Amino acid sequence: MSPPVSTEERVESLLWPFVERLVDSWQLPGVAMCVVHDGDRVRTRGFGARDVRTGDPVTEDTLFHLASVSKTVVATAVLQLVEAGELDLDAGVTAYLPDLVWADPRAEGMTVRHLLSHRSGLGDVSDYGWHEPELDDGALARFAARVAGWTLERNPGTGFAYSNAAYELLGHLVATVAGRPFEDAVRERVLQPVGMTTSTFLRADVPAHLGALPHLGLPPRVVDGAYPYTRRHAPSSTLHSSVAELGRWTVAHLAGGAGLMSPRSHEAMWTSEGGAGGQWHAEMALGWFRGTHRGYAVVSHSGEDPGFSTSLAMVPDRGVGVVVLADSNTAPTFTLTKVALDVLLGQELADPPLPPVTVPLAPVLERSGVTPAAELYRRLAEADAEEVDLDEVGFSDAVWGVIEMHRTDLAWPLLELWQRVQPDSAQMELNTGWAHEIDGRLEEARRHLRRAVELDPDDEEAATMLARLSEGRGG
């Protein structure tokens, strides 16, 4: 009988080769991963480059923009203040923020708990303003004042609706109670105590030799001046960290918040506040999602901003956790997270997923233009052997980041190709409408958004965007 295979051996023989194959077949710029087992045993590894122009490798210390995984740090800071008696989860947030003038009287019923669990009634941001970053200490307070002027979309506490704006308010709340800028407060209260000494919400503090750069468009490239950073959205999005330091973050949370808060407060943070939808994100706790994988309870959060995709997931009952960071928003971080959990849980692995059709199309589009790329798409679609995934998701992932960065010049060739090969795609119409909006062609934008809704009446994003443009509202 063969001796049992250790977790370390499974990681070396199964997980790392799987990731190498996927990074190669998907032609991803760079990925970093961390796995935690037995509660505190950490393994890390980098793949690919932090900048494809230089080829500088991704390492365990490379700092990635974390996007919405940042919210787990904000939630931790808020629960610390609750434990210290400086905040009450069920108190109205307006009382803690006397500097804000609230336009909707229903905001009086909005509690700290509602903000943490995305049940505040607030809508979400429509334009993050990455192309016009605000870098001064007052940026977050100004945005909080803007949010206070919004009309709520529903009564507080009556339903789940993911809101980045709610976390900007929470960050402003932390800064107000602490009496110092948000970034300083969370560094002192949360990051330093757990040993995350190079992690930072301030991009200016990221050493140039450690920072991963966002890769955008098709093919994925570093676009000068394009980076998803502004201090008005710091709490929801701008934590920079490495898999080495997020390993410490994961260990602390698997240990019930050790070094951060009491086990009782940590349990309260991870207790479900109600349904959120989907198997992996079935329920929303206070800053964390709860779901299941292979029959085990999973606590997680993921993030995606232009040029970055991130994921952190834990199975507390088994003492395991996974962190996946990528410097492109075309990386299948969710797939890598599930595969890594399977390795840690002793499951068998399937082959890596097929790369999106945009991978072989990218060099043709760049070198020869739309028509030859469309011809290649048709040949791939008609081939007997399935070589690529023809789904529209590949196109959407490749285009939305450059649109959000207001670099529509990089989006239009791909949008033209997408329209030629998938003319009945609702996602294509949505992104085309969005690009027209960014370029100021509002009637064209409305026309494409109406078509998106016709093709997919359940597309809430297109319907919301169309309603906003029709009513002249901003986000």
- Give residue 360's Cα distance to chain centre: 26
| C-alpha closest to that of 27 among 225, 228, 309, 215 | 215
Residue by residue, DSSP assigns 361-388 as HHHHHHHH-HHHHHHHHHHHHH-SS--S
Joined tokens for residue 81: 């203040």
Phi first, then psi, for residue 103 (nearest 5°) are -80, -30
CB atoms within 10 A of CB 374: 19
Q: Is 120 a catalytic residue?
A: no
Burial 382-415 (b: 16+ CB within 10 A, else e): eeeeeebebebebbbbbbbbbbbbbbbebbbbbb
| C-alpha closest to that of 433 among 450, 419, 421 | 450
Joined tokens for residue 440: 């100021």
Tell me 85's DSSP state.
T
Residue by residue, DSSP assigns 296-324 as EEEEEEEEEETTEEEEEEEEGGGTEEEEE
Q: Which residue spans within 204-272 are E strands per DSSP?
A: 240-241
Burial of 261 (0-12, 13-18, 19+ CB in 10 A): buried
Annotated catalytic residue, options 2, 6, 13, 68: 68
Joined tokens for residue 124: 């979400």
Residues carrying an active site annotation: 68
